[in-house]
Amino acid sequence: MHPIRESLIAMSSGARGRRGRATIRHFLEMKQEGRPIVAMTAYDVLFARLLEEAGVDLILVGDSLGQVVLGYDSTIPVTLDEMIHHARAAKRGAPDTFVVLDMPFMSYQASVEEALRNAGRALKETGVEAVKLEGGHERTCETIAALVDAGIPVMGHIGLTPQSVHALGGYRVQGRSEAAAERIRSEAVALQEAGAFAMVLELLPAPLAETISTSLTVPTIGIGAGPGCDGQVLVLYDALGLNPGFEPKFLKRFAELHDVALEGVRGYAREVRAHSYPDAEHSFEGD
C-alpha cells in the first residue's frame, strides 16, 4: 500500500468519521466485506441533501455537470471555478457524506505543480474529501502520487475517460481487444501503486472490469462496467429520468421525474391562466 495513503487511512477514527461520514478506511472495509459502494452525482444543495438522506455512501460532483447542468456538449469546457462553485453547494447540502470533486480538463495536466495548486484550492474552498483525476498513464500517476504525498486523497478513473473523448474516438466501450484490455489492467495497477484510494471504471466489458476489481486492494466503482465492480455510480439526472433523450445500454431509470415535473409545471400554468391560483387558501388576509 502507498505509505501516504496508509497514513491517511490511519487518521480515520474507525469505519466512519465523527459525524457518521464514510472515510477511506470505510470504503476499503466495504470492499473486503463484499458490501457494494453506492455512489451518485450531485451538483447542488437540494439533490445532495436528498442523496445524503437516502444514505448514499459517496457523492461525486462530476464534470458531467457541463452537460446536464450547464448545457455544454462535453465535459471539456468545464472550468475549475465552475467545479468549485457546484462542489461547495453540494457539500453544504451533504455535510455528512464523503464528497469527491472531479478535477476538470487542463486543471492538472500541465504540470504537477499546477495540479497541486488547483487540487489544494479545490479542497480548501469546497470542503470536499477528495478529488478525482482521469487517466492511468505514467504522467497522470506521477501527478496522483504527488497529490497523495501532499495529503490530498485521490480517486482514479480509467476506461472511457470523457475528457479524452476526442482522442478515444467518441463515447464507446474501451478494452475490447486483448492489447487494450492489458493496457487498462496495467493502468489500474499503476493507479493503485500511485496511491489512489479508489477508481472509477467506465464503459468496460464486464469480465474485464471484474478481473481488475478482484486483482486490486482498493475499491472500483463502475459505470457501464458490469456487476463485478466494488460499487456503482450513476449521474443522478439520468437515473431519475430527468434526461429523457439519454438512453445508453448501461442506464436503468429508477424514477421518471421528467414526466412528473412536466405535469407539475403544466398544472401550475393551467391554474395561473384560469385564475384559480393563488386562491384564498394560498393568500394572506388583511388586518
**What residues act catalytically?**
202
- Residues in CB range of 254: below 8 A, 6 or more apart: 239, 240, 241
DSSP three-state, residue 154? strand
Angle between helices 112-126 and 138-149 in degrees, nearest 10: 50
Residue type present at position 178: E
C-alpha 283/C-alpha 272 separation (Å) is: 14
The residues with which 223 forms a beta bridge, in sequence order, are: 202
If you search the block for the grid coordinates 463485478, which residue do you land on? 228
Nearest to 60 by CA among 79, 84, 39: 39
Give the list of residues 6+ apart from residue 53 with CB closer than 8 angstroms, or none: none
- Closest by CA position to 212, among listed 191, 195, 194: 191
φ, ψ of residue 47 in degrees (nearest 5): -70, -35
Residues 196/144, Cβ–Cβ less than 8 Å: yes
